[in-house]
Amino acid sequence: MGYRFNKKRALLFTISAIFSVAGVVVFLPDRSSEGNYEVQVRKKESPEETLEQNPASVVEEALPPNPFILSEDQVDRVRRVQAERLALLASECSKEPKPNRAVYERSFAILARRFEIVDKYRVSNCMVLKAGFTAWNALLAYVLGRQDLIDGHQTYMMSRILKGSAAKFASVNSSPDYMKFVVAREPLARLLSAYRDRIDAAHETGAANRFVPLILTFTRGMGYKPTHANGTRIMPSFEEFLRYIVSVAPEAHDPHWRPIALQCGACFVNYTLIAHAETLNEDLGYI
């Protein structure tokens, strides 16, 4: 006998499917242990133990395994990898000149606008577009009970709801009680994702309307018309997009392809963890 339809379970399945297709998965905080960051390690149970604890499990359809519960070996591996990533960041930042107080305060005011702060779980993350951020906001909306945003397809609003002041962000950054992380993604893969979504999208987007003429003018010359004689639009190739990208100062790039280090204060924030989109399952399971 199959289990009865459950709205919350169906929503979780939908979110899980989105992450699986995208190849980017994020963690689901445990509602029952607010502020508890102990790593959960999967306990192996015998069939007899499972049946004794939950007799109904025999007749219910088996749920997929939770990808965020790590084995002891996975925990050890992620811990070693994180130590290497944080050491590399510290080494690179040590080569940078120390900013004066004015620059430091100005940087924090800018950074505050790019960080989400979840006080309930004491987690703070930099908003990195084209690195699983849309799906991450959908999951945040679910765990924080914002069903209205999910139903209205407005989960992008979570970044506004969870944004703190410069003073709040400075307090979180200096607090050892908050997990502070950023998600990085292989640069070329992120650029390709941005090109497909923001430039070469099948539907017209504000970004395409803005950047397509700029790209075509740069790569094909002044006066180049971005439409065919029959009215269909001419879209720049990925190569043309890249040629335009490298011609513009990184600081002036659109947030969808601006370098992550420039957006997330690599040398200003006391990051606890550096996640990679390519290893996000284990990285966020570790958190």
pTM of the model: 0.71
pLDDT confidence of residue 283? 85
- List the strands of the sheet with 273-276, edge to edge: 115-118, 123-126, 179-184, 273-276
Could you list the mean pLDDT of each consecutive 10-residue stretch along the chain, which spans 287 residues? 44 48 39 37 41 44 65 92 95 89 82 92 93 84 91 91 90 94 94 91 74 90 72 86 94 92 91 91 82
Residue 151 pLDDT: 92
Q: Which helix (H) or strand (E) holds 117?
A: strand 115-118
Count of other CB atoms within 10 angstroms of residue 276: 16
